[in-house]
Structure 1
Amino acid sequence: MTTAIEVMRRHRSIRKFTEQPLSREQREAIMAAAQAAPSSSFLQASAVIRVTDPELRGRLLPLCGNQAYVVGAAEFWVFCADFHRHLQWVPAAKTGFAEQLLIGAIDTALMGQNALTAAESLGLGGVFIGAVRNHPHELSELLALPKGVIPLFGLCLGHPDQDPEPKPRLPAALMFFENGYPAHQDEALMGDYDERVRHYYRSRTGGNKDMSWTGQIGETLAREARPFMLEFLHRQGFCLR
């Protein structure tokens, strides 16, 4: 197995960090790795806001679910889909199409994953922050995001101060298929996986959380998440047609 594969398979979300900062060399290496990610039609439809002002991080904290590591991590980056840049340099460019939201989201997610993998290869750790979408209007104002730019996720990076157990993933047979999507999936295999997830949560929380994967999905998908999102996308010039 290659070193790169070993780094990716060892991934754990890190939520506790030491006070040690990243070096400039580490930061620049992570940025370079992020920019090396594939880009649809070479549009490079992403922007990353590195939040270094402690006061600004404090103001972002309640907008990001009050997750303490947003303030405590050595680095906090906000990854955005960006078509403002294209309009700035090519005013005649046609934007607002739904497909462009997919391009921006995919390109930016690839950048984010490259960044985290690069950080982990340097012995660092991190965690993605989807909660930057909890209050997108207010967060966009604080970060001065113009029309054509939307925040997708944050990334905390730093030196790990914990060593958590990797979270068990779905069995490959329930995710990778050949020549088409199966009409039925293996119920016994899912049952075994549900029990593995229960054991993981019980172990991680000292018995305070006892939930299967399907139970968690049932809770998560029982209601619409962020019902304000379509209106925000329209305000920022996305999904207009």
Structure 2
Amino acid sequence: MNDVIGLLQRHRSIRKFKPDEVPEEALEAIIRSAQMASTSSNVQAYSVIAVTNPDTKRALSVVAGNQLHVEQCPVLLVWCADLSRDRLACEREGVEMVSGTMENFIVATVDVALAAQNAAIAAESLGLGIVYIGGIRNNLREATRLLNVPKLVYPVFGMCLGYPEQESSLRPRLPLRAALHRETYEQAAQAEAIAEYDRTTRDYYIERTKGKRDTTWSKEMADKFKRPARTYMREYLEEQGFRFD
């Protein structure tokens, strides 16, 4: 329909990067674009830590499950939900901030996700590639130590950034009718949409791996959700000053 929609619909994750540095002006343009994302009540409850130090990237790659691209990408952006700056603003006005609510936790987490996606689009418009790194939540205490993260801040995910050195294929998404509902939630349409998507993903994996991987989206989801993951998260978040009362 237009260049922006075309860019969005060509998104692919990049896990192999050229060694070229990301120019400072490009990085600043990307973060300024992130800052223009929608934010709840203008709280702007996020911060971004740009990591280029090889030792830090290497340590964070271990945290993320030994993902080599975390170590090898030119820049690792660590996106943090951040209420600490809002607390400082309250203190300037002599107000004690009520931070420990589920709502404030959600606001900060949503804010950082919106900003990061703006950054991803901006990066891709400049010919750069990205991949999100949820694996940084494998050990947030170690990530917190490495990045000197203060209270009321927590790293939500990383983002590898650099110039692509691979041509990865587009991963198919669920059929539109699975995601788009009209007027009310259409539960009846989900089973058929999932069955269709299972056929699509099975063909995709067989073609992509030349027959070495024969699976479906349902099988992947069953494997992912059959056991609890990162069960320490609530305890860690409470250590960081977030509360869920």
Pick the TM interval, shorter chain: over 0.9
- Secondary structure of the residue aligned to 1:90 is helix
Equivalent residue, structure 2, for 1:173? 177
Deviation at 1:194, TM superposition (A): 0.5
Does 2:84 align with 1:84? yes
**Runs of 4+ with deviation above 6 angstroms:** none
- Secondary structure of the residue aligned to 1:134 is helix
- Amino acid in the other structure paired with 1:45: A
Select the residue among 120, 141, 150 that pairs with 2:145.
141
Deviation at 1:101, TM superposition (A): 1.1
Q: Distance in 2 between matches of 1:181 and 1:192?
A: 19
Equivalent residue, structure 2, for 1:108? 112
Deviation at 1:186, TM superposition (A): 5.1
Which segment drifts farther, 11-20 or 178-187? 178-187
Does 2:245 align with 1:220? no
- Secondary structure of the residue aligned to 1:49 is strand
Q: Distance in 2 between matches of 1:96 and 1:195?
A: 45
Does 2:65 align with 1:61? no
Q: How many residue pairs were aligned?
A: 241
- Secondary structure of the residue aligned to 2:228 is coil
RMSD (Å), alpha carbons: 1.2
- Secondary structure of the residue aligned to 1:201 is helix
Of all paired residues, the percent bearing the same amino acid is 39
- Secondary structure of the residue aligned to 1:99 is helix
- Amino acid in the other structure paired with 2:110: I
- Amino acid in the other structure paired with 2:229: A
Deviation at 1:164, TM superposition (A): 1.0
- Amino acid in the other structure paired with 2:12: R
- Secondary structure of the residue aligned to 1:32 is helix
Stretches of structure 2 lacking an aligned partner (at least 5 in a row): none
- Secondary structure of the residue aligned to 1:13 is coil
Q: Distance in 2 between matches of 1:159 and 1:11?
A: 14
Stretches of structure 1 lacking an aligned partner (at least 5 in a row): none
- Secondary structure of the residue aligned to 2:144 is helix
Q: Distance in 2 between matches of 1:239 and 1:205?
A: 44
For residues 116-148 of structure 1, the C-alpha deviation after alignment (integer angstroms, 9 at most, x for no partner) is 110111111110000110001111011111110
Equivalent residue, structure 1, for 2:8? 8
Equivalent residue, structure 1, for 2:29? 29
Deviation at 1:206, TM superposition (A): 2.5
Does the CA contact (< 8 Å) of 2:174 and 2:193 recur in 1?
no
- Amino acid in the other structure paired with 2:230: R
Equivalent residue, structure 1, for 2:241? 237
